[in-house]
Amino acid sequence: MGDIRAIDKAIEALPPAELEAFRRWSAEFDAASWNRQIDADAAAGKLGQLASEALADFGAGSAHPLRHTASR
């Protein structure tokens, strides 16, 4: 747990430009990790039931389009 606290303190001490670079890196790292997990779950067949349910809902007419709202 000491390592985490040291990392916390190091992040808190970053100047704004380096903090922004860290945030970008962290977001990219998180997205890549998520993508690897989804790929592994798909390859293991863990998403098949969800896909079947989604297709059945769509076929039954109970699916609705997603609405994208951009905050600007």
Q: pLDDT of 3-20, one tens digit each?
A: 999 999 999 999 999 999
Task: Indicate the number of domains in the chain.
Answer: 1
In degrees and rounded to multiples of 5, residue 64 shows phi and psi of -125, 150
In a domain, 67, yes or no: no
Range of the domain at 53: 2-59
14-59: pLDDT as tens digits: 999 999 999 999 999 999 999 999 999 999 999 999 999 999 999 9
In a domain, 17, yes or no: yes
In a domain, 69, yes or no: no
- The token pair at 56 is 């059945």
In a domain, 30, yes or no: yes
In a domain, 68, yes or no: no
In a domain, 28, yes or no: yes
